[in-house]
Structure 1
């Protein structure tokens, strides 16, 4: 019987094939006690599994580094490094050993017990991105359990097993397969390149999970957060993944199969058309030049951004340098090398580096936050201002990288002129310190990130203080509507088209343009083609997004006339049914 499951759409396209269902290893663990004289042996089993997984991940990383043509190398390498750091986390290892020693649990049971404790700690974090890092710990534990039990990796199906599954359905050995799993690790994702899997679905994860990030970079049709998919889907079921709608269709009717097969072919044709736009300037029908920039996570992402025609980097998230380090902060030199690499990889195109957007609600120092509401507490620029030595080290590193190419420096979560002036004072102090040390550095343009309503309402004052403004729509929507989009109870209320949100965006764009300062949108709205004409009509001329979204947005730009869009967008701000008005956007 046909049925549908709804999840999060994280990677475009359609995949059709037979389901290969993988149950989570940590849900199928034998729980047994051991004798006192078995403690050392159990610990050695665990260490052997850890070392085997570490070796496996290092081999995958080496193979990825050798694959110079792999566009996904940067993100996968970074995620493999995160998993290697988690594997060798001393606190995690000590906790598991204590459970084996004191409670006399078997190795598998001890590992799963500590996983449950760690998962609860992640669940208490306010930041949705950090909450989803729980999946990384689960993936590492799952991989160790597979070694302890001698179970193969989810994606390591042999050719004979693949043939057997297809033969059971009376089909050819090359029939596409779709992986349905509780979750997938970066290492499992890497194996997609060596298998016949056409797409995947996971029970857990969100739009900012590592699984989603890598799926987008690999351009694999995928749906995450489909809850009980791995339990409801049977081995060998015919399934359809609609990566655009975030839907999994199980045992579809012949008519539905034909419809989606047609949609799949159309998608392939559309991608070929989009690839022809790489070298086409992003200019509207009425001659407006539009800047299309890329959001990147690690320095090597800059290469992928350049390959799809990005005019620069509109948001380089520096958090990857600070996280998963067991309490250590990156040195100035370490940061400088990463920023320099990103700048050089862009070959003279500007790189906007955001100062670290973490805080007391995030596990950088190994201590749990005692704030009642960390999302409204000491985070982003507030945390940086409270840690002068850390902040100055990062600012010096960014200024030094600016000696190698054009760099813009972006300050996150500013809320007042006082904060802004404090931050600008730190930048000047960092410059003076480099001059005193006679260290080469360059000039930077400094921008304010508009992601709280107070900052949007102060856009005029900020435009006078800064060289540019950058709107972070993800946080702006959440703070304006008091909605955590990662909370399933209220996620349906997360609305980019809410009139209050649109008015704050329009105010920021208008005030920036009035002051002659560039304004960029770098949240998810920038990479959503359904929002492109609205943002153009509101006066936006600079978009920053994940590299895979640049060509679809460019297509919208090339078909738009801002003279027609401006009056429509302004009227829409006063509409009591914004969604209906969006359906009647003027064409070219």
Structure 2
């Protein structure tokens, strides 16, 4: 028996055979061609087919795992439209008279190396993406497609897994995954937790393990190869204990989210699409604390109309049958792009033209969404929250636009309901002036993912920073406490909708801080409810 220790990114026990998942590297040979125009057209046809594949994958992934986790496909489609990349391929074909496969492979390698050597962490992260998109085009050119389905359930072992690969895996056939590289805060890690798949990173994976029996212990971060009978027996008992715990959680359906000393808290769900609503209801969510509206805008060629948006918001509100639905307004920007908005490339998009900054700069887009939301508010309990707020002036400008929208609806004789107004606290600036902001809105929702990233000045997807990245940092917890206190003093209720809200090691801390609501992925509703019911809201 061999035993290895890695870093666990999702708890659970998996027992089964290993499938070593090697990337299907296309062997590309350099060939001389005569008709360069025909070869360029061949490349363009393959590029367009690749973009069609990515758009289709995005649509499927949004339904399975939500817009945020599906965004990787949109990023790849955007990169395949990059003029510099395509000009390089065209130029190689024309000047060197080489085949499209070779030109795409060399360009992908060159761009990947160039990004890897940049100081900016965002562009460093694009290095692997450049390799990924060139491989996709080459696969189309050669007719060799990667197989993401398996005959039997397996433990996937790999050097690394791109989010684009993880999303396509047949969830029913994946027991767990184990990788050599990766970050605990990467999109892939978040996706694994969303899909409830036990996972380990930083394990010295080798192709020799393919076909061997193995055990993943996501509780201790241990990986066993060819386990002995005693270990198998122990792990089977541990797995059965996990399954029993899940069964017990089902008994919490219909129970209150109330602490041992009688403190109640709202427990809502984060969703990214209409398809997620069923999971919210199945897991007994009390409402929707974050509806990411971006998915309506992404993966299409034109702006969604007011009627299209209204139909989505109305359906969600009706399906939730009177339970609260908090819709986050358009949060486009950074690595979530839509071509039809014509946004320029930025050196540091995470700190750039995104979210509310786009809405306030392009008020007609903003007003269309607000009209759709207000019209849908007749069909349920809808609230609105605005992302990436940094100042009082931004909120004042939002309020003026909301007033205009309501006046227009009144003039048109269109009814609407009472709509709570809230803002996301995800920048240190908003947290620091939360005492002033609280007097202007009905509620705060703390986005801990970005709040942590901006407070610590660390890219949460950069695996080199794992040893420094600490979501439990005192600065983060103090900011949350400050926001809760300022919110309540100003008459606003306060929720948490970031990943930290599902961290059950902090549930009691949040109760003692006075947090009013936690919004988590649907699969975490019952585990968090269990933690609430075992906690004390008052300090001893």
Query: With structure 2 as the length reference, what TM-score do the two structures score?
Result: 0.83
The secondary structure found in structure 2 opposite 1:109 is: helix
Q: Distance in 1 between the 2:166 and 2:352 partners?
A: 36
Displacement of 1:353: 1.0
Are 1:343 and 2:299 counterparts? no
Displacement of 1:91: 2.7
8 Å contact from structure 2 (residues 452, 471) kept in 1 = yes
Query: Quick one: which of 478, 481, 492 aligns to 1:517?
Result: 492
Query: Quick one: which of 346, 350, 357 aligns to 2:331?
Result: 357
Q: 2:175 corresponds to which residue?
A: 198
Matches within 5 A, 1:258-407: 258-325=233-300, 328-359=302-333, 363-365=337-339, 368-371=344-347, 373-407=348-382
Check 1:90–1:221 CA distance in 2 against 1; reply closer, same or farther (3 A cut).
closer
1:212-253 deviation line (CA, Å, top 9, x unaligned): 455444423234x64863x46632234333445666454556
Q: Distance in 1 between the 2:115 and 2:219 partners?
A: 29
Q: Distance in 2 between the 1:488 and 1:211 partners?
A: 12
Are 1:471 and 2:425 counterparts? no
8 Å contact from structure 1 (residues 29, 109) kept in 2 = no
The secondary structure found in structure 2 opposite 1:410 is: strand
Q: Please, which runs of 5 or more residues in structure 1 have no aligned partner?
A: 66-71, 163-175, 569-588
8 Å contact from structure 2 (residues 93, 103) kept in 1 = no
8 Å contact from structure 1 (residues 399, 442) kept in 2 = yes
The secondary structure found in structure 2 opposite 1:265 is: helix
8 Å contact from structure 1 (residues 343, 405) kept in 2 = yes
Q: Distance in 2 between the 1:515 and 1:45 partners?
A: 59
Q: Distance in 2 between the 1:444 and 1:31 partners?
A: 61
Q: Please, which runs of 5 or more residues in structure 2 have no aligned partner?
A: none
Check 1:185–1:138 CA distance in 2 against 1; reply closer, same or farther (3 A cut).
farther
Answer with 312-321 or 513-522: which moved more: 513-522
Check 1:41–1:80 CA distance in 2 against 1; reply closer, same or farther (3 A cut).
farther
Are 1:441 and 2:416 counterparts? yes
Q: Distance in 2 between the 1:393 and 1:34 partners?
A: 53
Displacement of 1:305: 0.9
Q: Distance in 1 between the 2:37 and 2:87 partners?
A: 14
Q: Distance in 2 between the 1:97 and 1:396 partners?
A: 45
8 Å contact from structure 1 (residues 202, 226) kept in 2 = yes
1:345-400 deviation line (CA, Å, top 9, x unaligned): 322211111122233675434655344x4433433323322222222222222222
1:469-501 deviation line (CA, Å, top 9, x unaligned): 111122222222222222233332222332222
Displacement of 1:79: 7.6
Q: 1:40 corresponds to which residue?
A: 38
1:273-330 deviation line (CA, Å, top 9, x unaligned): 112212222222222222110011112212211110111111112232344556x543
Displacement of 1:191: 5.4
Answer with 465-474 or 503-512: which moved more: 503-512
Displacement of 1:509: 1.4
Check 1:91–1:453 CA distance in 2 against 1; reply closer, same or farther (3 A cut).
closer
Check 1:13–1:151 CA distance in 2 against 1; reply closer, same or farther (3 A cut).
farther
Q: Distance in 2 between the 1:334 and 1:122 partners?
A: 38
The secondary structure found in structure 2 opposite 1:464 is: coil
Q: 2:506 corresponds to which residue?
A: 531
1:499-549 deviation line (CA, Å, top 9, x unaligned): 222221112112223344321011111101111111111112311011111
8 Å contact from structure 1 (residues 17, 198) kept in 2 = yes
Check 1:362–1:199 CA distance in 2 against 1; reply closer, same or farther (3 A cut).
closer
Q: 1:31 corresponds to which residue?
A: 29
Q: 1:488 corresponds to which residue?
A: 463
1:94-145 deviation line (CA, Å, top 9, x unaligned): 65872674254434334444545776798789897x9878877766665565
Check 1:211–1:452 CA distance in 2 against 1; reply closer, same or farther (3 A cut).
closer
Q: 1:6 corresponds to which residue?
A: 6
Displacement of 1:452: 2.0
Displacement of 1:82: 7.8
Check 1:127–1:536 CA distance in 2 against 1; reply closer, same or farther (3 A cut).
farther
8 Å contact from structure 1 (residues 14, 241) kept in 2 = yes
Q: 2:157 corresponds to which residue?
A: 180
The secondary structure found in structure 2 opposite 1:310 is: coil
Check 1:238–1:38 CA distance in 2 against 1; reply closer, same or farther (3 A cut).
farther
Matches within 5 A, 1:122-271: 142=135, 145-146=138-139, 148-149=141-142, 151=144, 153-158=146-151, 177-181=154-158, 182-183=160-161, 192=170, 195=173, 197-202=174-179, 206=183, 211-212=188-189, 214-223=191-200, 226=202, 229=205, 231=206, 234-244=209-219, 248-250=223-225, 256-271=231-246
The secondary structure found in structure 2 opposite 1:489 is: helix
8 Å contact from structure 2 (residues 178, 203) kept in 1 = no
Q: Distance in 2 between the 1:306 and 1:427 partners?
A: 31
Query: Quick one: which of 90, 102, 105 aligns to 1:98?
Result: 90
Q: Distance in 2 between the 1:253 and 1:234 partners?
A: 16
Check 1:115–1:432 CA distance in 2 against 1; reply closer, same or farther (3 A cut).
farther
Q: Distance in 2 between the 1:546 and 1:349 partners?
A: 17
8 Å contact from structure 2 (residues 184, 463) kept in 1 = no
8 Å contact from structure 1 (residues 484, 491) kept in 2 = no
Q: 2:425 corresponds to which residue?
A: 450
Q: 2:14 corresponds to which residue?
A: 15
8 Å contact from structure 1 (residues 8, 206) kept in 2 = no
